Structure 1
Amino acid sequence: MGKYTEDVGRLLGLVGGRENISAVTHCMTRMRFVLVDEKRADVAAIEELPSVKGSFTQAGQFQVIIGNDVSTFYNEFTDASGIEGVSKDAAKAAAGANQNPLQRAMGVLGEIFAPLIPALVCGGLILGFRNIIGEVNFFDASGAFDLEHGTLSIADTSQFWMGVYNFLWLIGEAVFHMLPVGICWSVTKKMGTTQILGIILGLTLVSGQLLNGFAVADTAAADIPVWDFGFAQVQMIGYQGQVIAALLAAFVLVGLEKFFKKVTPEVVSMIVVPFFSLVPAVIIAHTIVGPIGWALGDAIANAVKFGLESDFRVVFAAIFGAVYAPLVMTGLHHMTNAIDTQMVNTVQYTTLWPMIALSNIAQGSSVLAMSVLQRNNERAQQVNIPAFISCYLGVTEPALFGVNLKYRFPLICGMIGSSISAMVCVGFGVKALSIGVGGLPGILSIMFEYWPLFTLCMLLAIVVPFALTFVVGSRRLSSEDRYGRAIGIAGTSESAAAVVPTAAAAPAAASVAPTAAAASFELLAPLSGTVCPISEVPDDMFANKVLGDGIAIKPAAGADTVVAPADATVSATMPGSNHAIGLTLDSGLEVLIHVGIDTVDMGGDGFVCNVKQGQHVKAGERLLTFSTDKIAAAGHSTITAVVLTETGDATDIEFLTGMEATTGTTTVVTYRA
């Protein structure tokens, strides 16, 4: 009998049986199913299985979080079910076939823009800061503070701040004017073609030889430079800041490269494919798809601008504010990144993004109310608290999938609050300089003169969903939902006192003396770099401590080796990807070391595992090596999670963060057992 025989059998039935499974695979911590009909999966019952730590659906895959022992679970599952596992690429292909064309298109668009979001957010914050120090006239001619009649900005009164104002545009220009370079790179990366060709194509769209795209509107047609070929002339117009034109050009390059790779003999491929892909792509970009993309981009931006500034703008805002959260759950929200960016580069502001920030806040406020209602439900709080914090910081998926969709009414209450705040926001014409951090810090991207109004909108997005969720939840939540499983099983009073230990009970528990003195232990840094809290990992599963608490390490320059943090037995490896390793320490703790985020997608390129499953290792012994350059080239974060997936009898666990660690030398975790 296998270790997970009972859970495996129950999981098979709960996902809808063999006939409902198109494909199954696994990564370091999760079972990944492609289901024929996802509605047949009983999510609530699956999450109650002892070996399951959670579940979610992403990109057409139903993922069940198991933890370090997922490979054992997977093997028992495939043996018991008679279903042959497939590779991760095959599972992804099956998941894509499980989606409709619109979902697939939005998924591709989302994956293209995801690597660009950090730069866009950074650029938005920089523009916001430049706006405050250089565009807002705080002072009168004498230098006295006079916000109402002022004629001088902070930069006007200080050479230092003028220097800062001018210097920051170096970054702002790189982010927004040179955006086509990033888009072309990201498209080629996503589609699996040569990324340097994408970068070169992007550079040809923003070359200094061309008339800057932002200057075209103010330049007479006769003054626009041209390439004169005798029989035809082509305008030398740059596509600075253009989104759709860059997307179309990049897909032309991808199509050409894939075609020529297919028809070109391998012996001359290195010469033929790059030349016959790039040169025609550049020509087509400047003569056909560039002008078409420019026209489409302007049309979309102006249509949205019209909708948000017309007599019906409040109705538009009410609808958008209400439906944005459901759009996030379908993946269709990724289109707004392109629209926002196009608006910023067309009209120099966006009125769409502020509503997105408010929607994030509203959904977080619903979860905050659930956290208050379920304050005595320890298991629910493990999801609620990280979810509303991440929501307020702009990441809504944990709140939407982990709480609001599960209970439904918090989602609706959040949608109502989002709709009301969006109506006020658009009604008063609040504008943002760019997209930013999509939660409470989002105010930094709002034009300064609209800060008071946006603050009012944020208050509405906090108060309305919280109040509605609290009132509805007080009536609709069951005793088990509010106080935890103990109430539902024991059938005791619904009072919170029923699950809170009484004062009289405390001394009895405290009077039990330990049978032996606890020994002290420590974990050494498995990698050199900056040690930070696990909550800073840009992955919801780690950041929300689904697998357990721990630390994260941002690798130092040149750090490429992971060593054992203590004497241990290798409990899990990842053949094929080698990006993570599981350990069972001699003291009993179980530890997962996961290098990078989504690095499983690299298929082992850049990773070497130096140990085997079952092997005993000493503290400081090399476990695996990796290439930070290859991880960065693949567009992934190198941040490494070190998670205590099973703590056993350990007590007084302390995570030491906020320091620079040296491999195998610096203590990062202490505990007693």
Structure 2
Amino acid sequence: MGRYAEDAKELLELVGGRQNIAAVSHCMTRMRFVLNDPSAADVKKIEAMKVVKGSFTQSGQFQVIIGNTVADFYNDFTAAAGVEGVSKDSVKQAAKKNQSVLQRVVTAIAEIFAPLIPAIIVGGLILGFRNCIDSLYLFENGTKTLCDISQFWTGIDSFLWLIGEAVFHMLPVGICWSVTKKMGTTQMLGIVLGLTLVSGQLLNAYSVASTAASEIPFWDFGYFKVNMIGYQAQVIPAILAAFTLVYLEKFFRKITPQVISMIVVPFFSLVLAVIAAHFILGPVGWKIGSAISSVVYAGITGSFKVVFGAVFGFVYAPLVITGLHHMTNAIDLQLIADYAGTMLWPMIALSNIAQGSAVLGMITLQRKDAQAQEVNVPACISCYLGVTEPAIFGVNLKHFFPFVCGMIGSACAAVICVATGTTANAIGVGGLPGILSIQPKFMLSFAVCMAVAVAVPFVLTIIVGKKKGIGRNTKTEELKAEELKSGELKAFLTGETIPLKEVGDGVFSEGVMGDGLAIIPEGEILYAPADATVTVLMEESRHACGLTLENGMELLLHIGIDTVDMKGDGFEYLIKEGDKVAAGTPLIRFSREKIKAAGHPDTTVCIVTGEGNTQHIEFHTGIRAEVNRTAVVTFE
């Protein structure tokens, strides 16, 4: 039996059972489900599982975030479910039945760019580094750059452009390859098609605007002429050309006899695709791309640019949830091609920072909650480095208000960003490192925007979180109890569970008062393990209480060993005798420091002093318990 066998069984039940799973796979951190009936999944209970860091639905897939151990979890899950896992591509194909037309378009764009993102990030970092050495005037009273005073760095600058040019100018090659790979056709034909779009025989796309119409080279076919224009860094022409190649190849495969398909299919597919690309699709795609970028550019630079920035900054994070944010990659690249820079990407980087800062606020609020910090801290770090998924799905959406605070902070930063005309040379570098992609003259303004994106969400999250009682332990700020399953006692403290025999007290350890278990506490409030009535209180010492469940089971909860000697110093009742309490209700506040100072252990025991109508009781020890979420006792 695997490490996650029990958790896997629980997740299987909560997603609706084996019959509700159309397909399942996993990636680096997530289980990916295609469910026959998505509404059958109990999302609330799934997210309450200790091993689950969050969940979301995107592109027809229900995705459950497990973390770095997802591969082990996946193996236990498929064993428990009795299903065969499939590849991520198969899951994506199965998920299409749950997608709208718009979702399918967005998914296609996302899948085209996904394999290219690592190269785009590298290109962005290189351009950012080149910015620092060839465009920042930091030497000789601000008159020279590092390249101006050093031949070595001039050489480095020149050499690095070899990579930068390959990434951005030759982007159509990568796009054509990615489309053919996604569609399952011949990838080498896609590469060749992409190369014909950026060939050195053609007029470079970046030179078209500065070249007189009469000087643009052309192919002369006697009856008509076609301009010899390259499509360096152009996105839409490459996508249109690539899909044309794909469908031509599929068409010729279908109608061509197998014996001659090796010759006929690639020849006619490639030649016709290249003709279509340069005669029709390239010019049309160029116009479409330019139209889109000009509209966006007008929004960013026009009279209402501040409004545009505020709206974009506010809605970008929700776009991430829907997957529509992938479309901005194409727009950004088109802006760079048309205007030698993009003002969209800086706002995207700021949105990353804002969501990370909201998590930073949660880290501050929940600083005493070790369990929450296991998710909060890595989510914040990854968000500041440009990867927002753990922060958005693992933290901010769970509480919701941090997500909104992040959106507000992002909008504020975006307003300053567009007002100052902050522009990036490249995309792919998000979060705090995003400053490397900013044009040198705008780095200071972007730094101001970054400060706003850090401060506003952080402060708002702290303010709202305190009003909601996040991280504070009072009677009116108790944990919201999950629905208690019949036959379970939830953890009354967060900490390690141990058997009674390890408590070290003659009465409890020997089971004189009844069987039970103990928890070595991490917090300082004792919580009710189930719905019950408060039946016993010790008004002088206040270190223990008795509860009676509806089935007649009687419990004694006792804080510390021999703490009766403290005569109530360090203990405070939060309930009174006769109160009806729900699972998760705070019962007693106590001071671990005072217990330690008095020379007593703070180990807290739960004793079943009366079994009531129960037939069988099982105590779960040797596990780490979490208040109101971990079952420490089960009974029938």
TM-score by length of 2: 0.72
Aligned partner of 2:14 in structure 1 is: 14
- Give, in angstroms, the shift of residue 118 of structure 1: 2.0
Judge which range, 60-69 or 111-120, deviates more.
60-69
Whole-angstrom CA distance in 2 between matches of 1:250 and 1:117: 18
Asked if structure 2 preserves the Cα contact closer than 8 Å seen for 1:413 and 1:468, the reply is yes
**Aligned AA (1:74):** T
* 2:92 is aligned with 1:100: no
DSSP 3-state at the match of 2:208: helix
**Aligned AA (2:22):** A
Whole-angstrom CA distance in 2 between matches of 1:268 and 1:501: 88
> Which of 157, 164, 176 does residue 184 from structure 1 map onto?
176
* 2:67 is aligned with 1:68: no
Relative to 1, partners in 2 of residues 1:311 and 1:72: Cα closer, same or farther, differing over 3 Å?
closer
- Give, in angstroms, the shift of residue 326 of structure 1: 0.5
Asked if structure 2 preserves the Cα contact closer than 8 Å seen for 1:376 and 1:496, the reply is no
Judge which range, 33-42 or 172-181, deviates more.
33-42
Aligned partner of 2:24 in structure 1 is: 25
Aligned partner of 1:344 in structure 2 is: 336
Relative to 1, partners in 2 of residues 1:6 and 1:170: Cα closer, same or farther, differing over 3 Å?
closer
- Give, in angstroms, the shift of residue 431 of structure 1: 1.0
* 2:453 is aligned with 1:461: yes
Relative to 1, partners in 2 of residues 1:497 and 1:303: Cα closer, same or farther, differing over 3 Å?
farther
- Give, in angstroms, the shift of residue 155 of structure 1: 2.1
Asked if structure 2 preserves the Cα contact closer than 8 Å seen for 1:358 and 1:457, the reply is yes
Whole-angstrom CA distance in 1 between matches of 2:2 and 2:356: 42
DSSP 3-state at the match of 2:62: strand
Aligned partner of 1:131 in structure 2 is: 131
Relative to 1, partners in 2 of residues 1:40 and 1:182: Cα closer, same or farther, differing over 3 Å?
same
Whole-angstrom CA distance in 1 between matches of 2:447 and 2:151: 31
Q: Write out aligned runs for 1:128-527 (5 A).
A: 128-138=128-138, 144-145=140-141, 147=142, 150=143, 152-476=144-468, 477=470, 479-480=478-479, 486=494, 488-489=527-528, 503-504=596-597
**Aligned AA (1:286):** H
- Give, in angstroms, the shift of residue 346 of structure 1: 1.1
- Give, in angstroms, the shift of residue 124 of structure 1: 2.1
Whole-angstrom CA distance in 2 between matches of 1:427 and 1:267: 64
Relative to 1, partners in 2 of residues 1:170 and 1:470: Cα closer, same or farther, differing over 3 Å?
same
**Aligned AA (1:168):** L
Aligned partner of 2:81 in structure 1 is: 77
Whole-angstrom CA distance in 2 between matches of 1:466 and 1:484: 31
Relative to 1, partners in 2 of residues 1:339 and 1:489: Cα closer, same or farther, differing over 3 Å?
farther
Relative to 1, partners in 2 of residues 1:6 and 1:114: Cα closer, same or farther, differing over 3 Å?
closer
Asked if structure 2 preserves the Cα contact closer than 8 Å seen for 1:366 and 1:413, the reply is yes
- Give, in angstroms, the shift of residue 46 of structure 1: 1.9
Asked if structure 1 preserves the Cα contact closer than 8 Å seen for 2:55 and 2:393, the reply is no
- Give, in angstroms, the shift of residue 274 of structure 1: 0.8
Whole-angstrom CA distance in 2 between matches of 1:480 and 1:501: 25
Aligned partner of 1:117 in structure 2 is: 117
Relative to 1, partners in 2 of residues 1:171 and 1:31: Cα closer, same or farther, differing over 3 Å?
closer
Whole-angstrom CA distance in 2 between matches of 1:500 and 1:390: 36
User: Computing the radius of gyration over CA atoms, which structure comes out larger, 1 or 2?
Assistant: 2
Aligned partner of 1:584 in structure 2 is: none
Judge which range, 281-290 or 445-454, deviates more.
445-454
CA-based RMSD of the aligned residues comes to 3.3
- Runs of at least 5 residues in structure 2 that lack an aligned partner in the other structure: 471-476, 482-490, 495-524, 530-583, 604-621, 624-636
Relative to 1, partners in 2 of residues 1:366 and 1:485: Cα closer, same or farther, differing over 3 Å?
farther
Q: Deviations over 1:450-499 (max 9, x none)?
A: 12211111111011101111111112235438999645546676999768
DSSP 3-state at the match of 1:318: helix
**Aligned AA (1:327):** L
DSSP 3-state at the match of 1:219: coil
Question: How many equivalent pairs are there?
Answer: 498
Asked if structure 2 preserves the Cα contact closer than 8 Å seen for 1:30 and 1:70, the reply is no
Judge which range, 118-127 or 58-67, deviates more.
58-67
Whole-angstrom CA distance in 2 between matches of 1:415 and 1:361: 10
Judge which range, 474-483 or 256-265, deviates more.
474-483
**Aligned AA (2:183):** M
Asked if structure 2 preserves the Cα contact closer than 8 Å seen for 1:253 and 1:278, the reply is yes
DSSP 3-state at the match of 1:68: helix
DSSP 3-state at the match of 1:210: coil
Q: Deviations over 1:182-211 (max 9, x none)?
A: 111111111111111111001001111111
Asked if structure 1 preserves the Cα contact closer than 8 Å seen for 2:31 and 2:74, the reply is yes
* 2:39 is aligned with 1:35: no
Whole-angstrom CA distance in 1 between matches of 2:460 and 2:118: 34
Asked if structure 2 preserves the Cα contact closer than 8 Å seen for 1:321 and 1:422, the reply is yes
**Aligned AA (2:479):** E
Asked if structure 1 preserves the Cα contact closer than 8 Å seen for 2:4 and 2:73, the reply is no
Relative to 1, partners in 2 of residues 1:50 and 1:218: Cα closer, same or farther, differing over 3 Å?
closer
Asked if structure 2 preserves the Cα contact closer than 8 Å seen for 1:26 and 1:71, the reply is no
Q: Deviations over 1:135-182 (max 9, x none)?
A: 34445xxxx31x3xx3x4332333223222222222221111111111
**Aligned AA (1:177):** H
Asked if structure 1 preserves the Cα contact closer than 8 Å seen for 2:300 and 2:308, the reply is yes
**Aligned AA (1:338):** A
Asked if structure 1 preserves the Cα contact closer than 8 Å seen for 2:54 and 2:398, the reply is no
- Give, in angstroms, the shift of residue 15 of structure 1: 2.7
Aligned partner of 2:514 in structure 1 is: none
TM-score by length of 1: 0.68
Asked if structure 2 preserves the Cα contact closer than 8 Å seen for 1:31 and 1:74, the reply is no
- Runs of at least 5 residues in structure 1 that lack an aligned partner in the other structure: 79-83, 511-647, 650-673
**Aligned AA (1:216):** V
Asked if structure 1 preserves the Cα contact closer than 8 Å seen for 2:355 and 2:383, the reply is yes
Q: Deviations over 1:381-412 (max 9, x none)?
A: 11111000000000000011111111110100
- Give, in angstroms, the shift of residue 221 of structure 1: 1.3
Relative to 1, partners in 2 of residues 1:501 and 1:252: Cα closer, same or farther, differing over 3 Å?
farther
Over the matched positions of the two proteins, sequence identity in percent amounts to 59
**Aligned AA (2:62):** F
DSSP 3-state at the match of 1:238: coil
- Give, in angstroms, the shift of residue 110 of structure 1: 1.1
